[in-house]
């Protein structure tokens, strides 16, 4: 009887850990700072939803609120330690010619990094 209880507990433990989600999974929101405009620096809103982390492979969707390059981008990436790099193989935006990719350092519920030459700031929602 004791053996059956121990085996059951071990199976439950492995089942729970196998289905545990990465803390990275979820919705993140923030902005990047577009530099070089005649009007000065512009904060551009961005949302990122991390939908899956398997090993160091990361999948998600990003939404940019930029005027010309706004839209949704399917994202894939790689997590190495606390360094995340994601990009979209697709093009979006008004003319369908915009790309989207970023690299960031994940620290708890915050990500900071670069979107091209722009500074990127995201917070978990």
CATH class for domain 22-124? Answer: mainly beta
Give tens-digit pLDDT for 69-96. Answer: 999 999 999 999 999 999 999 899 888 8
* pLDDT, position 8: 45
Inform me whether the pLDDT recorded for 64 exceeds 60.
yes
Inform me whether the pLDDT recorded for 14 exceeds 70.
no
| Per-domain residue ranges of the chain | 22-124
Neighbours of 79 (CB within 10 A): 18
- Residues 6+ away with beta carbon under 8 Å from 102: 32, 62, 85, 86, 87, 113, 114, 115, 120
The two tokens of residue 74 are 């399917």
Angular region, 4: left φ>0, alpha ψ -120 to 50, beta rest: alpha
Inform me whether the pLDDT recorded for 16 exceeds 60.
no
- Whole-model pTM: value is 0.80
């Amino acid at each position: 009887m004791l053996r059956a209880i121990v085996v059951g507990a071990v199976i439950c433990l492995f089942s729970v850990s196998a289905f545990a989600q990465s803390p990275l999974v979820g919705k993140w929101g923030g902005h990047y700072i577009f530099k070089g405009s005649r009007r000065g620096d512009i904060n551009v809103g961005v949302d990122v939803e991390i939908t899956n982390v398997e090993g160091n492979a990361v999948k998600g969707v990003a939404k940019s609120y930029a005027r010309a390059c706004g839209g949704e981008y399917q994202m894939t990436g790689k997590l190495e330690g606390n360094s995340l790099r994601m990009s979209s193989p697709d093009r979006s935006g008004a003319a369908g010619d915009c790309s989207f990719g970023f690299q960031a350092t994940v620290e708890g519920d915050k990500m900071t990094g670069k979107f091209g030459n722009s500074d990127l700031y995201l917070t978990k929602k």
